Structures are given as C-alpha cells and as structure tokens.
Amino acid sequence: MPGSVTGTPVDLETYRRGRKFIHVDIEPTQIGKGVSSRTWAIVGHAKPTLAALDAYARHSTSQRNPGTWTERVSELRSTLLRRDDFDDVPIKPPRVYREINEVFGPDTTFVTRSGSTRSGRASSSRPFRPRHYLVCGQAGPLGWEIPAAIGSSAPTRTSRWWPSSVDYSFQFLMEEIAVAAQYQIPFVIVMVNNEYLGLIRQAELGYDMNYAVDLHYGEGGIDHVQAHGGVRCPARRVEQPGEIADALRWATLEAEAAQLPVLVEIMVRSGRPNAAMGPSLNNIKEFEPVPDLVPVEAP
C-alpha cells in the first residue's frame, strides 16, 4: 500500500498510472483502501491465494524464458548500490549496515521492525537465504524485534539471530531482555541510536515542526548500555566507524559464550538521517550522497 511519512500528500495518480492491482486481504473491509477502483479483490489467506494465482497464471500462458530485462534487473541490483563507505563522525547509518553485511555470515537471521531502521535495512540488507530476514510489516510495532528474536532463536539457542533496533523501540519492550536472559536465549542486538523518533520527525518536516520527537535530555538521555547491564547482560557503545566491526564480532562471541542477549549501541548523527522517500514514485529524495547514476528505462 502507498503511504507517506514525508509530511505531504501521496501522489496516488503516479502510483496508479498504467497499473491494475490485485488486493488480497483476509479482512474484507480493507479491500481497495488507498489504491484504486481498478482493483481485483480477493478475500482470503495469503498462502492458498498466491498458490491459486500461480496455478492460474501457469495454466493461462505458455511457458516462456526470462527476457533480457530480467537479466538487466539482476545487473542493476548488484551495481546501483547506495553509498555506505562513509567515515563521518558521528557515524552515518549506511556505514553501520555495511559493517553488518561484512561481519555476519550466511547463517545469520535478521530481525527488524518499523521506522528508520527498517528503511535502512530494506535498502542495505543482504540476507543470504529464505526466511532469514524477518520484518513485522505495515507501520510496525515499536519493540517488536526483541520478542521476535526471542521466538526465532529459542529453538536453536545460537547467537545467529540479529535484531535491528533503535533507541525508542528498544525502550518500548526492553523488559523482554530480562526474559531472554532468564531463559538463556542468545542473540546480538544492534541499536542504531540517533536519539530521535526518526520517521515521525521526518513526517513533521513538511509542517515545519519538530515536536515531541527528541529523545535527548541531560548529557545523553537514557544510557542503554547501563540499562542492558541492569539485567546482567553485556553491552558496548560505539562512536567511531572503525570500531563497529570489532564490536559486532565481540558481541557474537559474547552472546554464544554467555548464552545471553548482547547489545551493541552505535551512536549516529542526532536527528538523522532522513529515509530516502518522497511524495511520488518519480520524486524520491535521497538525503545522503549517491554514486552518479544513469537512468535506465524498462524495455
């Protein structure tokens, strides 16, 4: 579904132009909301509905080989990558995701929820296998990533589950850390801390507002490292980009050895970054420097 956290109305006309939509939902009252009158509505469970659509498509069309555009898309996905080699201090979040991609191996399962962290992970994540990137979907509940990581990692009791968090989301359900500690469920939490409600702040920009989104107070707001230590779990804070990789490796080994959740809090620029988005599909604003790109049209 289209949506906006840019503080401006969504350009649905561009989103709808030349397209028809198949809207599948288990809840009938949600059909057609926010999309188009040119919507084919199906009320049902996702799995059997998708299986039926796949069978119908295979029956209705002859077997075809993938065209050149399929190959071109694969090439673009591997070459048109956002920059992540920033050495800035305070740290820029793309650098965090770069280090995560390099440190964690193919057995790692990534768990993330709503907000700027999910936006960053969606554009930078490189999961290797199916069902190894768990995201809550929709607007997403704050704090979801912690109990989701507990449920995901409990059967194996290994540290290969990595929940992505931000400051306020961590605060929402940080009591669940004690549950993981009590039942000895290990995972590594990487907190990207910008001391702000990032996407809510971004939604206010169009109205020239900055209201009730700043989490900083005193000399630094909540000390998450001490809060995590309060339930007898290891934690470390990182403020230099060159220290990220070592901290992630330390956390992985520590979680495995202690059979506890381990926190790596990475301090990034306060109030930033804005997520790359815009009011229209053809009007996306990038807030970080990007490589020089040549527009490519589909055939």
Is omega for the bond preceding 66 within 30 degrees of 0, making it cis?
Answer: no
User: What is the reported pLDDT for 260?
Assistant: 94
Torsion of CA 156, 159, 161, 166, to 10 degrees: 140
User: What is the reported pLDDT for 115?
Assistant: 64
Q: For residue range 236-287, what is the model confidence (pLDDT) as tens digits?
A: 999 999 999 999 999 999 999 999 999 999 998 876 556 777 778 788 887 7
User: What is the reported pLDDT for 177?
Assistant: 94
User: What is the reported pLDDT for 43?
Assistant: 93
Give the up-direction half-sphere exposure of residue 223: CA atoms within 13 A in the CB hemisphere. 7
- Strands (DSSP E) contained in the chain are 21-25, 39-43, 109-112, 133-135, 161-165, 187-193, 235-238, 261-267
Task: Classify residue 157 as left (phi > 0), alpha (psi -120 to 50) or beta.
Answer: left
Q: For the chain, how many helices (H) and strands (E)?
A: 11, 8
Overall pTM surpassing 0.85 (yes/no): no
User: What is the reported pLDDT for 205?
Assistant: 74
User: What is the reported pLDDT for 5?
Assistant: 47
User: What is the reported pLDDT for 296?
Assistant: 53
Of 155, 163, 148, residue with least CA distance to 108 = 163
Residues of the chain with pLDDT under 50: 1-7
d(CA 4, CA 53): 29
